Chains A and B, each alone.
Chain A
């Protein structure tokens, strides 16, 4: 490994305006289709997931909250017995469930409700029908995408042992369409044994062992990577598969590890890269030279900033990230333009001050900040959309650029029709 790049990082500590790890349930429950996520938490936790997942109030979803109440706190009811009762009720209702995650929250952690013991106890009762695992999505332990990290890390000890021929494991949830594309490219390169974590179904959990090489598909998987390494698997250092360069670099890391000749890699990626170039060329005039400011959110900020700067010519004003995992992001950091302002952590009020002073052309931020900034005349892009949308790989590079171009296009289209918001002043 190369020596870590010397890069200036400003650390900030203050009010953080980010979701907690529970939010990951919104995409994880889609990804693992026979898993159920039971948050053991408060009404706040239930309301958070509901508010962030609002789009889905049309079915009985595969997540729910066991809401802790006064009786549990006062010790009138044994919280463990109560939890068992709720799980019984739930599994009776949903016989289709094969994997149940008990998801810890701030309240369950502060009252020291031991969910790992609960998972063991309930697992003993429900195996082999249902496997019961636990992880923490609490806001005191996890920030937004770290919930996925905790969830995947809890799957690692469940993975069977494998040895023999080297295998490639892709780690981190991707939209199915993206996953299929990337696996397809790897197959074309001659890497046949490819599996994914998380799997689409609980029963398809891949195996792991000393011959496993893994690629991270997401930049927020520190604990999962550590757990896999503890099982003997080896991380392939790579950039993240965003944009042409990132995707190529990511595939190249696999090619190196599996002895794929350079010509073969080139032949496989040639056509998709040409398509991606054409798609990016259409967006570039809309983005080139525009100044962009990232509020911290998903830890995707640094790879995104790298893509926007290098492939679309945007200027980086500030790149905020909730955490900076230097080792996993080494290639990404090297690729950033020199002197870029990276901020780890957050003090939202100070950051807003810097943002207003810098008057960037675009701000990438969470839903709580977007409309207020728009009302101040600043174009925004909601960061959460970047987590829910297929953006990785060559075929999605154009879509990813378009996500950033769209707010500018829209502003142009409706120019003249917009007025200062009047909503609250009506009365």
Chain B
């Protein structure tokens, strides 16, 4: 048993729903109690889908348990096939049905349905959402991809072809990444045979072997299927995630090699077709202030690893924390963390992540919606780089993470939350000016920033109201769900987290307090913490101006 406050991933059957919803012509009959139908809203509210997910739930109740839940399942499956006329039926159990052991696979088989049935065994008490998605996609590919022919031999008279594997429902920018990667492949002269699971039918899956190789966009969802296709059909697949300029360059070279094209010439073509600005923006003098910004990164493994690479090698940030909630990919994240000399954080415990962020004292957090809330509480700028998704992760505009355009998007979304360079200098230089007084905030932080600043220093009681002010625009599913007037808006008032600001025993002398006031607000809280920590280490009871500067020198090293 494990205590969970918030979770990064849903249960594995939600992963299966992400595959079913992405595809066409499949229907999923899920043996589950009524409450599990909440999962529909993930797709209709967060992703704003215009159709219900293709899922039928048996919604058995306690009074059915003694009787015949199996019969209920059979009727639901039969009705679903008649009503929705899918090409294939996925069947499985949610956590509760797994316990009553009705064996949906066996029951469906006994029904003699006119369409193929794919039974899913997704152990709910062991595995999670991404695993469930990968397993479901793998089972579908295994069942439908033709096995009679080996991979099509390279035909030099035709353009090379590939499949694109990975995009699902509820994916982080999957829709836009797919558009971008298709453009990139077109510029390279590589044709796309099948995209899956996104919009693919079971019949499309049958055609997977017609492509020369596979492009794997998201190893979390497509890794298992790609490995299977390689093993059984000898279809090679990409391993590089095309995120960032350098990542995209490397991806283009990798694809060119798999396609039998000249890597360098292909790269020239791909770049020529792009509108890549992020590299120049990063080189321009205004970006100098980005140098060495401390960044904490957390997300699914492939997005976190890619973000760390972009942060360090394309923006000149300093990676001070790197972690993932995907235990399946822990090894990859450990390797990446070693590159930056940081301790990898492999955890799906939200509270542990929060503690790690606070301890790393980053200037920017790149994380999921969970870290966005952590960062907000700690008054640290943040950008979202990974699922779990939120209604804001489906922007109306085109906003990919992958490819050269994706790199442009990353530059904008990561840099804007940071202080603009000149503004930072001005604030520092004129910190005693009446307009740049201690509580003034950088203009781009808007009205909430002074609050954010107070929050760092205020005792817990006022943190509550500050968080309350900030909470309203930050809603998740219910950003859409709750009107500002709703009773739930009052929820925000609860935010006082115990232990937010532990009282410190050391005392500040008035001169030191005054000097601290001259330090720009956005580093003041950190200066205060560092000085207090230094004083504690040195056994200094009263912090003077001198202590302040000794501490500064000590931490500057």
Contacts and interface: CB of A to CB of B under 8 A. Distances in A.
Interface of A: 14-23, 26-27, 30, 33, 40, 42-48, 50-62, 64-70, 72-73, 77, 79, 82-83, 85-86, 89-90, 93-96, 106-107, 109-111, 138-141, 143, 175, 349, 366-372, 375, 382, 384-385, 388-390, 399, 420-421, 423-424, 426-427
B27 to A, nearest CB: 12
B408 interface: no
Given A140-B33, A368-B44, A371-B49, A79 B1 contact: yes
A26 B488 contact: yes
Nearest to B492: A58
Contact of A107 (B7, B41, B61, B95): B95
B50 A424 contact: yes
Contacts of B58: 15
Given A42-B124, A140-B62, A389-B485, A72 B1 contact: yes
Most chain B CB inside 10 Å of its own CB: which residue of A53, A73, A139 = A139
B65 A367 contact: no
Nearest to B199: A427
Interface stretch (B225-233, B261-269, B277-285, B369-377): B369-377
A90 B3 CA distance: 8
Given A30-B487, A44-B95, A385-B486, A57 B45 contact: no
B128 A43 contact: yes
Top 5 closest pairs, chain A to chain B, by CB: A20-B35, A54-B476, A368-B40, A139-B35, A375-B50
Contacts of B52: 368-369, 372
Given A47-B10, A423-B48, A139 B175 contact: no
Contacts of A14: 59
B154 interface: no
Given A51-B477, A58-B495, A175-B487, A424 B49 contact: yes
B478 interface: yes
Contacts of B491: 30, 55-56
A17 B488 contact: no
Given A52-B477, A56-B488, A421-B49, 7 more contacts: A42-B124, A42-B125, A43-B10, A47-B7, A140-B62, A390-B487, A427-B175
Interface string B1-44: 11111110111011000000000000000000111111111101
Contact of A50 (B7, B126, B176, B470): B7
Contacts of A110: 65, 96, 99-100
Given A20-B34, A42-B124, A47 B483 contact: no
A68 B9 CA distance: 15
B506 interface: no
A372 B488 contact: no
A390 B490 CA distance: 12
B11 A44 contact: yes
A388 B486 CA distance: 6
Nearest to B474: A58
A335 to B, nearest CB: 26
Interface string B464-476: 0001001100111
Interface of B: 1-7, 9-11, 13-14, 33-42, 44-45, 47-52, 56-62, 64-65, 76, 79, 83, 94-96, 99-100, 123-126, 128, 167, 175-176, 178-179, 182, 195, 198-199, 351, 369-370, 373, 376-377, 390, 394, 467, 470-471, 474-479, 481-483, 485-488, 490-492, 494-498
A390 B470 CA distance: 22
A57 B33 contact: no
Contact of B96 (A16, A57, A73, A106): A106
A423 B47 contact: yes
A232 B22 CA distance: 56
Contacts of A82: 1
Nearest to A422: B50
Contact of B483 (A44, A106, A175, A385): A385
A60 B125 contact: no
B10 A44 contact: yes
Contacts of A64: 3-5
B37 A16 contact: yes
Contacts of B486: 385, 388-389
29 contacts: A17-B37, A30-B490, A43-B7, A44-B11, A47-B7, A47-B10, A54-B476, A54-B481, A55-B482, A57-B369, A58-B377, A59-B377, A59-B492, A64-B3, A67-B1, A69-B126, A86-B1, A89-B3, A106-B95, A109-B62, A140-B64, A349-B79, A368-B40, A368-B45, A370-B44, A372-B50, A385-B481, A427-B182, A427-B195
Nearest to B75: A14
B7 A143 contact: no
Contact of A94 (B79, B478, B498): B498
Contact of B34 (A18, A70, A89): A18
Contacts of A390: 487
Given A54-B476, A83-B1, A110-B96, A16 B10 contact: no
B95 A58 contact: no
A343 to B, nearest CB: 16
B3 A17 contact: no
Nearest to A384: B481
A32 to B, nearest CB: 12
A52 B477 CA distance: 7
A282 B285 CA distance: 59
B475 A426 contact: no
B82 to A, nearest CB: 10
Contacts of B467: 58-59
B411 to A, nearest CB: 23
Contact of A69 (B2, B6, B49, B51): B2
Nearest to A353: B83
A427 B179 contact: yes
Nearest to B487: A175
Nearest to A71: B1
A16 B34 contact: yes
B487 A70 contact: no
B69 to A, nearest CB: 10
A236 B491 CA distance: 32
Contacts of B94: 44
A21 B525 CA distance: 44
B384 to A, nearest CB: 13
B93 to A, nearest CB: 11
B498 A51 contact: no
B35 A48 contact: yes
Q: Name the residue among A45, A58, A64 with the largest chain B CB count within 10 angstroms.
A: A58
B5 A55 contact: no
B501 to A, nearest CB: 15
Contact of B487 (A45, A368, A388): A388
Nearest to A141: B62
A32 B123 CA distance: 36
A96 B3 contact: no
B427 to A, nearest CB: 27
Which of B7, B64, B128 has most A Cβ within 10 Å? B7
Contact of A140 (B65, B394, B488): B65
